[in-house]
Amino acid sequence: MTAQDPDRQVHASLSGVTRVYPGAAGHQPVHALGPVDLDLRRGEFFAVVGPSGCGKSTLLEVLAGLQPATAGTVTFEGRPVTGEVPDGIGVVFQEDASFPWLTVWDNTAFGLRRNGLPDTEVRRRVDDALAFMGLKDFARAYPAQLSGGMRQRVCIARTLVLQPRLILLDEPFGALDAQTRLLMGDEVLRLWRRTGATVLLITHALDEAAMLSDRVGAMSARPGRFLDIVETGWPRERDSTIVGEARFGEITGRLWDNLRGESMKSLGYAGMAAE
């Protein structure tokens, strides 16, 4: 199946979803998101870009079931998502979420042990995930002994072993340097191809979104709504070398056209954005 396959099933969807945070004492409620409509196709790689504070992470958390939608419906594999993260969804966060008191191996095995899988199966899946993520030689290391990029790979491995069908990545490379981010992008593409999972990536980096995704959704300043959804048209077998292609420049250019004004709005340059 290619990225442009037209008859893909809807894997997860948001329909008329809004999220309004109740105001703290003496403050107005904050309308963070929506209304947003989005159908994620089974097996696609979808990225969301937008200005800071536009509700990208809120969108991810609503889709994951980590936050309730104020209005609208969220479904995953045809079932409504309400109040609990459904089985089959894995989330990797921007913050370092590795457990510093556990080794890399034990970090990765955490969810499998919680699910009560037999030891042999745990060992098989963890060893496999660590080999896949290039962490095999660090299985006995503690997260503090690893770089930021490697710690994030531990978190990805911990998600990967649970064999999620929908992987939500909330700016997982936000804290990494540009070169490491490109290489991590290749890792995520490998992971996506191997698992066949649907991936939703939240990022503020246009190049990252353009390189990794089948489709990129550009969001407006708060309250975040989709201004444009760009089909990248990349083949499934791709890696970071596509950043040198002309098409890559076209995609990032189109995304920036959408986002320039919105980013200025979010920074308070309303007048300049209108020009």
Using CB under 8 A as the criterion, which residues of the chain lie in contact with other proteins when the complex forms?
Answer: 61, 64-66, 84-85, 87, 89-91, 93, 95-97, 99-101, 110-111, 114, 142-145
State the nearest-atom distance from the C-beta of 208 to other proteins, in Å: 21
The token duo for 42 is: 């089974």
Q: How far is the CB of 97 from other proteins (least distance, A)?
A: 5
Q: How far is the CB of 25 from other proteins (least distance, A)?
A: 13
Please tell me the distance from the alpha carbon of residue 91 to that of residue 99, in angstroms, as a whole number: 15
Q: How far apart are CA 137 and CA 145, in angstroms?
A: 12
Shortest distance in whole angstroms from residue 267 CB to other proteins: 26
Kindly give the pairing relationship between strand 166-170 and strand 89-92: parallel
115/179 with CB nearer other proteins: 115
Q: Which is nearer to other proteins, 9 or 145 (CB)?
A: 145
Cis bond before residue 35 (omega within 30° of 0)? yes
> To the nearest whole angstrom, how small is the minimum distance from the Cβ of residue 145 to other proteins?
7
Nearer to other proteins, 27 or 114 (CB): 114
Closest to 108 measured CA to CA, from 86, 87, 77, 133: 133
Residue 64 vs 184, nearer CB to other proteins: 64
- Identify which of residues 151 and 222 has a Cβ nearer to other proteins in the complex: 151
Using CA atoms, how far apart are residues 43 and 127, in angstroms rounded to an integer?
Answer: 25
Computed from CA positions of residues 118, 120, 123, 124, in that sequence, does the dihedral angle turn out positive or negative? Answer: negative
Angle at alpha carbon of residue 13, lines to 243 and 23, rounded to 5°: 95
Contact residues for 47 (Cβ-Cβ < 8 A; gap 6+): 200, 201, 202, 203, 208, 209, 212, 213, 215, 216, 217
Alpha-carbon torsion (217, 219, 225, 230), positive or negative: negative
Q: Which of 255, 258, 251 is nearest to 234 (CA)?
A: 251
Query: Measured from the CB of residue 175, what is the shortest distance to other proteins in angstroms?
Result: 12
User: Which is nearer to other proteins, 93 or 234 (by Cβ)?
Assistant: 93
- Name which of 17 and 91 has its Cβ closer to other proteins: 91
Minimum distance from residue 144 beta carbon to other proteins (Å): 2
Q: Is 102 exposed, middle or buried (0-12, 13-18, 19+ CB in 10 A)?
A: middle
